[in-house]
């Protein structure tokens, strides 16, 4: 699809979009929805607008004129065209949509990076992270807030070593991102599962039984009657979570629960946008 055609379609989408009981703890890491708007192009392009720009960035376009929007979109499209061949492919657009939706992650990493790269060499070592995060706490063996900082540090060190692919205990920005947001990286998923099981497995038998599963989500606090959603979760555990019916979840069952294989919303939206913009309807 030619860049000019794609830009015209995006400009149209933007212009039309601008004219217009007890809380449950959720351990499941889903791919985020691209927008909370209804995806119906016959009514509006609000969904496509949010998906392409990210919901927060899309709000900034509310203040722009159509001409300013088109100019800014042109700059964005140039970034999407990674190989600079004058065309936007489905894969290039999918990568951009994923970036736009997870921009907050990169902003969080940038913010934390500045506070942990103490010698400003463009890298963050474990020693730098440990000193910046735990230095003050380790000097107090009995902190008033009740946190076990040494235990937290051991857990962080384990995760840092997992994120550090070359094992030198010095993180690049990509490795530091994997450390801070391990659920976003395939090679970090085992540590996400391990940490989750450690949090929930109160009897330390290496499994999550039904009461541990419910106890992580809901505290009775003296109430005899459970909310309906708790009863539903009990049924979910028995019927779907505990696949081998042994009364507990092992590592693989826990992984299937907290890291499900989701529908790829970004790829579906990329294909939709390319199809609607591509005059000869060719999808690479």
SS3 sequence of 93-126? HHHHHHHHHCHHHHHHHHHHHHHHCCCCCCCEEH
**In a structure prediction context, what are the per-residue pLDDT tens digits for the chain, which is 284 residues long?**
555 544 445 544 444 444 333 455 567 765 666 666 666 666 667 767 666 776 667 777 777 888 887 888 888 888 888 888 888 888 888 888 777 777 788 889 999 999 999 999 999 999 999 999 888 776 666 656 556 788 899 999 999 999 999 999 999 999 999 999 998 899 999 999 999 999 999 999 999 999 999 999 998 776 668 889 999 999 999 999 999 999 999 999 999 999 887 667 677 877 877 777 766 655 55
pLDDT at 26: 66
CB 31 within 8 A of CB 265: yes
pTM attached to this predicted model: 0.67
Q: Do 124 and 116 form a contact (C-beta atoms < 8 A)?
A: yes
Give the span between the Cα atoms of 207 and 200, in whole angstroms. Answer: 9
Query: What's the CA angle centered on 181, arms 111 and 169, to 5 degrees?
Result: 80
- The predicted pLDDT at position 18 comes to 41
What is the structure's pLDDT at 8? 42
Alpha helices in 117-172 (DSSP H): 126-138, 149-163
DSSP state, 183?
A: G
Residue spans per domain, the chain? 41-116, 119-183
Q: Which two tokens stand for residue 110?
A: 């940038």
Please provide the DSSP assignment of 213-245 as one string: HHHHH---TT-SSPPHHHHHHHHHIIIII-TT-
User: 132 and 160 in contact (C-beta within 8 Å)?
Assistant: no
pLDDT at 12: 43
> What is the structure's pLDDT at 263?
64
Give the number of other Cβ atoms within 10 Å of residue 89's Cβ: 18
């Amino acid at each position: 699809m030619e860049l000019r055609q794609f830009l015209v379609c995006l400009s149209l989408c933007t212009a039309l979009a601008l004219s217009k009981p007890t809380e449950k703890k959720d351990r499941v890491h889903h791919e985020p929805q691209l927008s909370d708007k209804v995806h119906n192009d016959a009514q509006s392009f609000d969904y496509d607008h949010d998906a392409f720009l990210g919901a927060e960035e899309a709000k900034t376009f509310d203040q722009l004129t159509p001409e300013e929007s088109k100019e800014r979109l042109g700059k964005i499209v140039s970034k999407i065209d990674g190989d600079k061949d004058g065309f936007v492919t489905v894969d290039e657009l999918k990568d951009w949509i994923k970036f736009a939706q997870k921009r907050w992650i990169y902003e969080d990493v940038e913010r934390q990076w500045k506070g942990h790269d103490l010698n400003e060499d463009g890298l963050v070592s474990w020693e730098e992270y440990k000193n910046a995060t735990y230095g003050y706490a380790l000097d107090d063996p009995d902190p008033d807030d009740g946190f076990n900082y040494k235990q937290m540090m051991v857990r962080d060190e384990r995760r840092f070593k997992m994120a550090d692919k070359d094992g030198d205990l010095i993180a690049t920005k990509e490795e530091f991102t994997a450390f801070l947001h391990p659920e976003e990286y395939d090679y970090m998923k085992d540590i996400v599962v391990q940490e989750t099981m450690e949090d929930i497995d109160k009897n330390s038998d290496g499994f999550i039984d039904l009461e541990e599963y419910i106890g992580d989500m809901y505290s009775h606090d003296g109430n005899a009657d459970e909310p309906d959603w708790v009863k539903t979760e009990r049924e979910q555990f028995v019927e779907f979570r505990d696949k081998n019916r042994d009364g507990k979840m092992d590592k693989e069952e826990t992984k299937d629960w907290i890291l499900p294989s989701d529908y790829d919303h970004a790829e579906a939206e990329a294909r939709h946008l390319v199809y609607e913009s591509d005059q000869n309807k060719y999808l690479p």
